[in-house]
Structure 1
């Protein structure tokens, strides 16, 4: 993907993503509501997109975790969590470049299986990035309908 001059993507401390994650993924709740178990793990990687003013406009967390539906898959398992894009930036490549940074992180560490529990409206986004659905959709009572998706890096 061609880099966009309107924003930059790179690693950030996870705490910097909480406000955006809470706004987008937790219905505008308090930033603490976006904290995930293991966010501060030694192998967890967090990437973000920052606009020209330095405002955080997109983010993703990458957790070392095997996919429960593909337990015998060779290679390390990596789970995508906390992926969010600011409203006015959706459809402008922010999510794609943040996801690309996460996938590059996996590739630099020898590759493996990358998976996520995607909200159903994001399914097409992940399919465009090479992910496939595994299993049946389900409804999370707190945050809505989801489907599990995966791909190999």
Structure 2
């Protein structure tokens, strides 16, 4: 998948994304701070956008996990986790392309429901990708306000 000449998107080993995830999602902490329980599950699919210099500028993880708010939804549940875009690359289509790769992966695996706990400032991004909110926003003591969102694939 090549959205333009500035970056490419493809499946990568999850460890390749830890530095970016730590920088963006864990306030610049060490790469190991970005590890998510289940990263090593063989069904987890991790996608990254890589610039022409080989630097990862965006990433997303897709985890097999049913949505707790929609347990009766037909098909498999997939959870988006560890989605991050490098500061200088935001608003340039990187996030949309890595998310598309994750959604395409879910569709190729039989579809179902894709969901996430989105940081509230990112909710508009997910809405543009067809996600809808479930329930009320809440505050995560470690990383701030969130809202659960979902879409069928």
* Same fold at TM > 0.5: yes
Q: Is 1:54 aligned to residue 50 of structure 2?
A: no
Aligned to 1:122: 122
Structure 1 gap segments, 5+ residues each: none
DSSP 3-state at the match of 2:84: strand
Shift of 1:69: 0.3
After TM superposition, the structure 1 = structure 2 runs for residues 62-141 of structure 1, keeping only pairs within 5 Å, are 62-141=62-141
Structure 2 gap segments, 5+ residues each: none
CA distance in 2, matches of 1:123, 1:73: 22
TM-score by length of 2: 0.98
Q: Deviations over 1:82-104 (max 9, x none)?
A: 00000000000000000000000
DSSP 3-state at the match of 1:79: strand
Runs of 4+ in 1 over 2 A off after TM superposition: none
Aligned to 2:27: 27
DSSP 3-state at the match of 1:115: strand
TM-score by length of 1: 0.98
Q: Deviations over 1:51-70 (max 9, x none)?
A: 00010000000000000000
Aligned to 1:11: 11
Considering only aligned residues, what root-mean-square deviation do their CA atoms show, in Å?
1.1
